[in-house]
């Protein structure tokens, strides 16, 4: 890969991160304009958005760094989703078994996505197996 490809790829990552920050700012502005307590109701969004940002950067970055960023982004995003469900249902005790969704399904999703995007069947397969194992663990422990 030459420098022009690397610059284009990084600019794509910058654009994705900028778009996510803009979206987050619009959500906060809308919440203030409508006098909603966005922090009390939708605080898991503040975990999901950075997770999606890491996931996007991981898909844009090359090599092992991209794989790691996508995996971490999957975990952080899934943590935000689980927190959102727990916040909506007021069932935070589900952490006793929901950790399988965060760690295993989240990491598996990140690995699977980076494998699919890069055409790497080995990463996609290992991510799918990790995610399936996490779902089985979640169902067994629940």
d(CA 73, CA 44): 15
- What pTM, to 2 d.p., does this model score? 0.74
The mean per-residue pLDDT over the stretch 103-130 comes to 92
d(CA 77, CA 54): 9
Q: What is the DSSP letter of 61?
A: S
- Tell me the pLDDT tens digit for each residue of 1-56: 555 655 555 555 666 667 767 777 776 777 677 766 656 667 888 888 889 888 88
* Residues 41 and 73 sit within 8 Å (Cβ to Cβ): no
d(CA 125, CA 37): 42
* Residues 101 and 82 sit within 8 Å (Cβ to Cβ): yes
- pLDDT for res 3: 58
User: How much of the chain is in helix, strand and coil states, percent to nearest 5?
Assistant: 90, 0, 10
Candidates 4, 17, 5; CA nearest to 73 is: 17
d(CA 60, CA 42): 28
Residues 6+ apart with CB under 8 A from 133: 104, 108
- Tell me the pLDDT tens digit for each residue of 76-93: 999 999 998 898 888 999
């Amino acid at each position: 890969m030459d420098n022009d490809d690397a610059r284009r790829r990084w600019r794509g990552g910058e654009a994705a991160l900028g778009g996510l920050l803009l979206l987050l700012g619009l959500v906060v502005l809308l919440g203030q304009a409508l006098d909603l307590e966005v922090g009390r109701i939708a605080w898991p969004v503040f975990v999901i958005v950075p997770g999606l940002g890491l996931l996007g950067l991981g898909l844009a970055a090359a090599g092992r760094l991209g794989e790691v960023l996508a995996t971490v982004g999957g975990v952080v995003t899934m943590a935000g989703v689980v927190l959102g469900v727990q916040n909506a249902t007021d069932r935070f005790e589900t952490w006793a078994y929901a950790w399988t969704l965060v760690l295993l399904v989240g990491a598996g999703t990140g690995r699977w996505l980076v494998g699919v995007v890069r055409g790497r069947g080995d990463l996609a397969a290992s991510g799918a197996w990790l995610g399936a194992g996490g779902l089985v663990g979640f169902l067994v422990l629940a």
